Amino acid sequence: MKYTNYKYLLKSRPHGMPTNDCWEYVSESIDTLGSNELIIRNEFLSIDPYMRGRMNEGKSYAPPVQIGEIMTGETVGVVVETNSKKFNVGDKVCVHMGWQSYTKCKDSEISLIRIPETNLPLSLFLGTLGMPGRTAYYGFNRVGKPRENDTVVVSAASGAVGSVVGQLAKMQGCKVIGVAGGPEKTSYVKNILGFDKCIDYKNENIGKLLKEYCNKGIDIYFENVGGELSRHVAQNLNKGARVPICGFISKYNSTDIMNEETPFHVFGNLNPKPEHRFFVVREWMNEFEKTTHILMKHVEDGSIKYRETIVNGLENAPNALNDVLSGKNFGKQLIKIN
């Protein structure tokens, strides 16, 4: 059978917020299938903050997307054709092979993950039950090393990663303070997700409220944002504090990111230094299946709640990325591929 695949290629590198001339939207035909290959009809595309860094030239924890290459990203979909003994038509899978409507790959592709049987929405395997949820789980538990009664501060608390971090922390008996942008998001973090407090960084005094809400100091700070918030948190860290650094989205659109102040500068200059490090979810790749089942149970019993922002049409992916980078989205940002 012949499939028309639509995909986004990186046409030029952005300076600041990505603009339309950074992208080339193209189509191709997929009509041949090699040995041990399968074709996936992608139903959802994940849009994540890390994508902005991959658009830059230069070394990072992962190679940059090259000009003319497909834009990096993870999709979830259904196998529609297969020459593989490992996968059948109708199997639901995730794969990290870019912004495209169909994916053709070998059954040995390292990012190819079979989705367990469940009645939960397929989109969740790109969010709470996928890379963001696993990032929250490993970053909090393995890098943050929580103890009961710890005071935990979570930046980007209404987002795909931060929302899971805070809910995991509450399950483990921690006091949890979120930071989010705007009254709607802060209300959601407190009243739906169950954080103890949430600071609206757009309308409230971060420094004053951190001191008030964290009157016994901060034991774990889960870093997603960087910038001014990191500096305020640094003033309130307890001896022996842990700082898992997931990212620092406030600087991702900088035109000179190599000279920006990062969380590594802020926390590395403290005396005593808190235990802090950058981590990536791939460090625990051999545990993905087990962790997904743990998170599934929490979602099914209602102890982890989630929110998604879904935009229809692959052609709208660039605008959705800009929404994530500017904080306009709410919860996990997804593209429904038509």
> Which CATH number characterizes residue 39's domain?
3.90.180.10
Domain identity same for 55 and 157: no
The crossing angle, in degrees rounded to 10, of helices 162-171 and 131-138 is: 50
Domain identity same for 161 and 180: yes
For residue 180, being part of any structural domain is answered with yes
Domain identity same for 118 and 136: no
Q: What is the CATH number of the domain that holds 210?
A: 3.40.50.720
Give the number of domains in the chain: 2
Q: Three-class SS of residue 62?
A: coil
Dihedral in degrees, nearest 10, Cα atoms 93, 94, 96, 98: 80
Give the whole-angstrom CA distance, residue 198 versus residue 179: 5
* pLDDT reported for residue 255: 62
Q: Three-class SS of residue 199?
A: strand
Question: pLDDT tens, 183-210?
Answer: 999 999 999 999 999 999 999 999 999 9
pLDDT tens digits, the chain, 338 residues: what are they?
A: 899 999 999 999 999 999 999 999 999 999 889 999 999 999 999 999 999 989 998 766 678 999 999 999 999 999 999 999 999 999 999 999 999 999 999 999 999 999 999 999 999 999 999 999 999 999 999 999 999 999 999 999 999 999 999 999 999 999 999 999 999 999 999 999 999 999 999 999 999 999 999 999 999 999 998 889 999 999 999 999 999 999 887 767 666 666 678 888 899 999 999 999 999 999 999 999 999 999 999 999 999 999 999 999 999 999 999 999 998 999 999 999 98
Asked if 28 and 7 count as a contact pair (C-beta separation under 8 A), the reply is yes
**Residue 239 lies in domain:** 131-282
Give the whole-angstrom CA distance, residue 241 versus residue 79: 46
Q: Three-class SS of residue 302?
A: coil
For residue 295, being part of any structural domain is answered with no
Q: Which residues of 252-283 are buried (b: 16+ CB within 10 A; e: fewer)?
A: bbeeebeeeebbbebbeeeeeebebebbebee
Domain identity same for 155 and 241: yes
Domain identity same for 136 and 85: no
Question: pLDDT tens, 260-285?
Answer: 788 888 999 999 999 999 999 999 99
For residue 62, being part of any structural domain is answered with yes
- Look up the pTM and report it: 0.92
Domain identity same for 137 and 209: yes
Domain identity same for 171 and 247: yes
Domain identity same for 162 and 260: yes
